[in-house]
Each structure stands twice: as C-alpha cells, then as structure tokens.
Structure 1
Amino acid sequence: MKRYTIGLFTTLLLSFLIVETAIAQKPDLAGNWSGKIKLPTGELEIIFKITQNDGKYEAKMDVPKQGASDLPVGDVLVIDDSVSIAVPVILGNYSGHFSSPDSVSGKWKQSGMTFDVNLVRIDEVAPLLRPQTPEPPFPYLSEEVEYINPESGLKLAGTITIPKDVDACPAVVMITGSGAQNRDENIFGHKPFAVIADFLTQNGITVLRVDDRGVGDSEGNVSTSTSLDFADDVLAGVNFLKKRKEIDPRKIGLIGHSEGGLIAPLVATKSHNIAFIVMLAGPGTAGEQILYEQAALIAKAAGLPDYSVEQNKRSQQRIFEVVKSEPDTAKAREKLREAITQGMYTGMNEDMKKAIDAQISSVNSNWFRYFLTYDPKPTLAKVKCPVLALNGSKDLQVQVSNLEAIIKAVNSGNNMNVDTVRFANHNHLFQNCETGAVAEYAQIEETIDPEVLTVIKDWILEQTSAK
C-alpha cells in the first residue's frame, strides 16, 4: 500500500522548479552531479541535474535506485566555493565546498540524520529502462476524457482506450492504490496501469484509467478524502462508461490494485451494474493488521534484527492508539508528538521537527484514520458479482495469505464465484523478483509479468462472454 511503507506509501511530486539565485562566475555548478549515501543496506546514489540560464539555476534531483526522477529542488546557492542545495519535498539538504572544478565534498542531511556525501560531475544520467511502457501510435482509440462526480461535484479526468471496430465490448475502470496517483499509477518509473490498459484494449476490452483527486487534471484533495470518497469517484466512472455507445453496460467491471482492491468491493456493493471485480494484491483483513505485517516484512527484508522489528511495532501501536482514541486532529497532533518522540519533541532541531510533523500529518489524515480501522470482510460478504483475486507470494506489502481471507469473506455471503491465483515469484507490483523488497521495484525493468496480464484478460473475457 503505497503511502505508509518505504517507497510505496510515499507520494513524491514530480515537478520542475526554477531557482533564482546569485551565482558566481566560477566555480560553475551547472551539470550533472552524482553522490552516494552509505546506508546499512548498501549505497544509495543521488543525482543533482543543474543548468544555468541567464545567471539562474534550474535544478532537479534523481534517486535512481528508488525510481525517483525530477524531484523538485528548492534554493541552490553558490557563495565563493561553498555549495548549498535544498530539497524540501523530502526534507533534505546538501551542503559542501568545491574540492576541484568537478567535485564537491560535503554532507547530506535528511530527517535529522547526516551523511558524508561527495559529489562528482558526470556526463550523462542513464535513463530508467521500462520496455513495457506503451508508446504511440496505438492500435486502438485513445481519448482524454472528463466527467463530474455528482456526489462531490468534483471534475475527474482520465484516459479511455477503446478497441477499434468493436461494438458492445466489455470495459473496466482502473482503481489506483493509496497515495496521490495519476492515471498510469506511476511508481518507481513504472506505469503499470498504462501497461494493463494497453494489453487489455488490444484484446478487446475498453479501459478507463483516471487521475486521483487533486492529481493531474482531476479536482479535489486526496489527503482529506477516504476510501469511501474514492468509491464514489469510481462509481462516477462506471456511470460515464454506461453512456458510451461502444460499451455493453452489462459488462462493466473494476480492476483495483492494493487499496484499489479494497475500494472495488465497496463500489460493487453500491451498484448492481458491476459485472465483476479484479483485486490485485487487495486486502482481505483490517488495515491495522495489514500495516503491522507490512512493516515487519519490509524491515526484515532490509536486514533489521528482530528486536528492531519488535521495537518498530511497539511504536506503531502507540501511534495507532492515539489515532483510534482521539478524534480531534489538533489534540491528536500533540499526543502523537508525545508518543513518537517520547516527550523529546520540544528539544529537537527544526529538521527533526519537520520530519516528525510530516509523519504525523500522514497518520492524522482522514484517509489514514479510515484505512486503519476499516475491515473489508463485511463488505466482501455483500459482493454478489464474480471476483478474481491475485497476489504474489513474495509480496511484502499485502501478504499472499490475504487470498484465503478474501475467499472466506466472499463465500460467507453465499457468493461462490470467486477465483484466486498465487504467483510464486512475484512482488506487490506483480514483477518477477528475487526477494519482494521494495528496493527491487525500481531496479527491475519488468513493469508487470505478461502472465499476470493474460490471466486477467482471460478471466474477464470468460466472465463477460455469456452476458
């Protein structure tokens, strides 16, 4: 689940910021600069891409191992031989001095931690290889669309891809995982929803994929919304598809990834017009349990000892107890500062306070409060349409054991039309992987295993062929 785990729940705005600053003629900071942060789990490369135009710097930052590119940079200062680069979006700052025209010695500070990092000038930044990402021209119709969610009044924007020369075809609405996601569900340089849409559309299935609230061209705010609000957005998408002449309104289904797999059943219980749902690593147990399991598995994969895993769980429990017991967000913020820092907040420096407050802002949000306490089983018991649930056995974010919980919950409502598939070598993104660790996501060129795509396609066509 993307927002509250390492890398997956973290949503980074990939934007471009022009920085105005007085720059000395020499030394020249323009160019690509690479440095390595030494962590217990290995080295993490950071790259600053800096250009100079009319005495002004334009700066962006990449973290290739995490699949992050073009992160917005704040102030870039060069005074004599000293260099300062601020990256407020991740609470980071680099400061150092030129040791030669092509090298800078300095320190990277982030979230109260300091690392020695020396930057060296490099000629080029190697692009991320994502061979499955579809490129135009497409062998199908692709149209930018907008529609209104009548419940919220918000405009939602997305892309619909329609097979050529096909009437009354089946269709799906894609539902992203947690965090502020665009219509392609961009993550670590991958565009899984674009890949899924391309494959399904080439096989006769219309696909609607949509920017989340407040992302791209959609209106609203993800952080102040809950899964219930997103369910209304999805239902608006279903109603939009029902008006398209190319689509059979009896054959409209849902595909949800991660939290999207939680939202799909909610939508299916709101409307009798949902023909099927596909849950990609969707949860079958309560959010609190998912988060405990997720944190422990990711920590172990990162090499942390058992005592650290248990210590982290106790910290989670303190945080979750505050969120569950204090409905007033202002009071909860003060209690969370106390719980997280164990009374040391007032004595911390500003960088550490910013890091703590950023964490608090996430867990004190409407979205997190809802997710933490939501149990999907009662909703799954009300789902009457066919269900396909897929999971990777190496998924560290939503364990494969959730498949059993999903089957049991759906069957408890006398719906026996539920199929599950376990993929033995797959992670949360359904990539073939080694360990399932989040750090692998960006390093793997494959966006999604073609076998997974085929399973989804065959199952949807089977469900809709008799309608």
Structure 2
Amino acid sequence: MKYYFAALCLLLGSLLPIEAQTIRQIEVSFPILKGKMKLQGVVSQVAEAPQQSPILVLVTPPQASNRDYVGFFKALSDSLNRKGYTTFRYDNRSYSDTLQGNQLHEGRYTMHDAADDLHDALAFLKSDERFASHPVGVIGHSEGGSVAIIEASRNTEVKQLLLLATMGVKGEQVYYEQNMSRLTPFLKWHSYSEINLLRYSIYRKAHIIASEPRDKQAIKDLEKEIAEIYQRNPSFFNSSYRVQTQQEFVKSQTEPFKNDARLLAFIRYNPKKYLQSIRCPIFIAYAKNDNLISYLEHQKGIECALLENQHFNFFSIAIDDANHSFEDQEGYLPLYVSVHRKDSTLDLGQAFTTLLDNMTKWLQVSTK
C-alpha cells in the first residue's frame, strides 16, 4: 500500500503548478586558478526539474559582487525557477577575495579573469553527476555579458547565450561616451575650442590604450601624449583639473590606469572579435532608458556583428520605460544625473516582467 501512496505523491507533485513545487537551494563550491581558490555559489532548481532541462548560469560584471548582484540576479533566479528553469549563480572572484581578508581592489580583475572563472564554473557543472546531464545556458548583464560572450566564443558547452544590456561596440568608444556624458554639465563654462580639446584628450587616452596591448608601454605612450596635449593650452587644463604644472596634469590623467587592469581590458574589448566565433542561439535585450550605454547603438552593434557572420539564430528586443537594471523608469536620465536611493534594493516592476516574459518564451523555443 505504501508504494501506491508514494507513486500517487510523485504523480500529484508533477501535476502541481511550478509555483507550488519546492525550489531546492543547493550550496556548492568550485575551484578556480587551478585549485588555488574556490568560489561559492548556489544551484536553484525545481524539485521535479527534468534531467534535460537547461541550467542557466548567471554572470556578474568583474567588480565585486555576490551571487545576488544587488538583488537583480536573486529576483531573476527566483522568477526563472518559478518558470521551471534551474539556475546557478555564484559570488565572483573580486567579492570572494574580500571574504578571505584581502583588501577590496575593484580594478584587479578583468573581464577575461571573470571569463576564466565562468569556464571553471561550467567545468564544475559538467563534472558533478547531479548536474552533468543538463545543457548549460549563460546569462550575462552589463559587463557580465561581455564575460559571457568571451566564454561562449571558446566553449561549445554554452548552448544558449542571453545578453542583457551588454556592450555591443568597442570599449574605447564606450569609455569616450561615458566620460563625455559625465562632463556635460561643465561644458557650458568653456569655449568650443576648449571643449574640443577636452574631447580630444579623452579620445586619445582611450585610443592609445586600445591600440597598445602591453600595459606598461601603453602608460608610457599615454604620458607622452598627455604632456603634448597639455602644452596646447596649459591655463585651461590647470583651471579645469586644479593642477599647477604639466607633471601634475600628466599624473592626474595616467595614474588611474596604472592599477586598474579591469579598465584597461574594458577599453581594449571588441565584442565583434568574439561574436564571430559563437554559433549557439542568442537572446539580446536592452533597456530604452539606459543611461550607461546608448542602447540602440549597442543593440545594432551586436546584431550587425552576428549578421556579418551569417548567424541568424538570435532574438533581439529593446524594452520600453526601463533603465540599465531593467527597473521601471519612464524618462531618460543622463549619466551625470545622480539618483539617490533610500536603500540599495532594486525596484523591479513591469519592465522586469516584460524582460522575463520574453526571455522564457525564447528559452522554450531555443531549448527544443
């Protein structure tokens, strides 16, 4: 009699709506750096998830972030779980470094370091008998999308790639645009020639770093170039940057790059280089009120790179009234506008729901 009862329980469990089924939280760890360090994470899955259902790995940008990623990945994971999808999210290396007592240094780790860690995360899933039978998809947000692109370009185990508000143009272009956006409120105090000289200095910094792969040589080239630019209008740069000498100005413009490997890699990044090697299905989503990147420019960048290589298996969408984190935001706020929050939690509403609906519809089609 007990066997009939057990079978009945299993049958009833499989018929329950996914929301009513138990979500298992499986704490795991996996080695990186050839076993020198471990990252902690959690696999979240519906108890009755089919063996062949995908595991979706959520990837943060390289800056220090735990598995919840300011709540965005926690909300995304929970929502995907309720739709029947298993997720895997983990504390990234920069965050984990601080847990071991090391001083936080945001610029220490690059998108390439993060891609190596993602590679190890995928290898772990394939080596663990609990997860080995599941195909793997990767979801990356912002610079985490660049991390996902790098790994997908070299790892055929990535069966689905989901890119959320991800860079679609060269990093040097993004660096220029973001810096100019931050300076916008101050430009009204200067002449056109001064503004263009400022533009030129930012453009040259990005271009020199992007053109020279050797960090030390790039800094040397940059120091020489910045000194020459300073000589064009010393009084302007002295007043604008609150320096008194050429040496002080050169130091102010080059010092931030010396200990910021992440920024150097960001500026040198070219998504087209990696997208040409990816053949798996790709989901692309942008937010129309994104104040960090020009969504249309980046969306077209990824689409055109894929089409150029005759990769037609992708879906692309831009979501109305959404910011970079896919929170509801009706108006566009420039990058120089500071938004003060009462707390650090995200306000996820209709825009997030629209993202999730499109994502799950695409997953259903691309998984078949």
- Partner of residue 457, structure 1: 360
Answer whether contact 1:315 1:340 (CA < 8 A) is retained.
Answer: yes
- Partner of residue 399, structure 1: 294
Equivalent positions of 1:2-151 (< 5 A) are 139-149=22-32, 151=34
CA shift in 2, pair 1:167/1:410, >3 Å: same
**SS of equivalent residue, structure 1 residue 215:** helix
**Which of 171, 188, 196 is the aligned partner of 2:76?**
196
Answer whether contact 2:62 2:94 (CA < 8 A) is retained.
Answer: no
CA shift in 2, pair 1:452/1:178, >3 Å: same
Matched AA of 2:75: V
1:314 aligns with 2:216: no
Pick which of 212-221 and 237-246 moved more: 212-221
1:294-323 deviations in whole A, cap 9, x for unaligned? 3344555x6864968756533422433554
Matched AA of 1:327: D
**SS of equivalent residue, structure 2 residue 159:** coil
Answer whether contact 1:252 1:273 (CA < 8 A) is retained.
Answer: yes
How far off its partner does 1:148 sit? Answer: 0.6
- CA–CA distance in 1 between the matches of 2:65 and 2:31? 18
Equivalent positions of 1:401-416 (< 5 A) are 401-416=297-312
Matched AA of 1:382: S
CA shift in 2, pair 1:209/1:303, >3 Å: farther
1:109-158 deviations in whole A, cap 9, x for unaligned? xxxxxxxxxxxxxxxxxxxxxxxxxxxxx951223321112557432222
- Partner of residue 157, structure 1: 40
TM-score by length of 2: 0.73
How far off its partner does 1:417 sit? Answer: 0.3
**SS of equivalent residue, structure 2 residue 55:** strand
How far off its partner does 1:348 sit? Answer: 5.6
Pick which of 220-229 and 445-454 moved more: 220-229
Over the aligned positions, Cα root-mean-square deviation in angstroms equals 3.6
How far off its partner does 1:402 sit? Answer: 1.2
1:85-104 deviations in whole A, cap 9, x for unaligned? xxxxxxxxxxxxxxxxxxxx
1:187-222 deviations in whole A, cap 9, x for unaligned? xxxx11111111112221121112221313677976
- Partner of residue 292, structure 1: 176
- CA–CA distance in 2 between the matches of 1:202 and 1:157? 23
1:413-436 deviations in whole A, cap 9, x for unaligned? 222101100112222111221224
Answer whether contact 1:258 1:398 (CA < 8 A) is retained.
Answer: no
More strand per residue: 1
- Partner of residue 260, structure 2: 365
**Which of 94, 105, 112 is the aligned partner of 1:228?**
112
Aligned-pair identity in percent equals 23
Matched AA of 1:316: I
- CA–CA distance in 2 between the matches of 1:249 and 1:408? 34
1:392-431 deviations in whole A, cap 9, x for unaligned? 1221222222111111111222221011001122221112
Pick which of 377-386 and 151-160 moved more: 151-160
CA shift in 2, pair 1:155/1:445, >3 Å: closer
Answer whether contact 1:252 1:276 (CA < 8 A) is retained.
Answer: yes
Equivalent positions of 1:148-187 (< 5 A) are 148-149=31-32, 151=34, 153-168=36-51, 169-186=53-70
- CA–CA distance in 2 between the matches of 1:151 and 1:339? 45
CA shift in 2, pair 1:222/1:241, >3 Å: farther
Answer whether contact 2:138 2:158 (CA < 8 A) is retained.
Answer: yes
**SS of equivalent residue, structure 1 residue 426:** coil
CA shift in 2, pair 1:441/1:247, >3 Å: farther
- Partner of residue 207, structure 1: 87
Q: For structure 2, which runs of at least 5 residues remain unmatched after alignment?
A: 1-20
Answer whether contact 1:389 1:420 (CA < 8 A) is retained.
Answer: yes
More helix per residue: 2
Answer whether contact 1:426 1:436 (CA < 8 A) is retained.
Answer: no
- CA–CA distance in 2 between the matches of 1:167 and 1:239? 21
**SS of equivalent residue, structure 1 residue 414:** coil
Matched AA of 2:280: C
- CA–CA distance in 1 between the matches of 2:346 and 2:113? 34
**SS of equivalent residue, structure 1 residue 422:** strand
CA shift in 2, pair 1:286/1:334, >3 Å: closer
Answer whether contact 1:392 1:430 (CA < 8 A) is retained.
Answer: yes
CA shift in 2, pair 1:312/1:213, >3 Å: farther
- Partner of residue 9, structure 2: none
- Partner of residue 446, structure 1: 347
CA shift in 2, pair 1:204/1:397, >3 Å: same
**SS of equivalent residue, structure 1 residue 406:** helix
1:388 aligns with 2:283: yes
How many residues align? The count is 318
- CA–CA distance in 1 between the matches of 2:162 and 2:108? 26
Higher relative contact order (Cα pairs below 8 Å, separated by 6+ residues)? 2
Q: For structure 1, which runs of at least 5 residues remain unmatched after alignment?
A: 1-137
Pick which of 326-335 and 275-284 moved more: 326-335
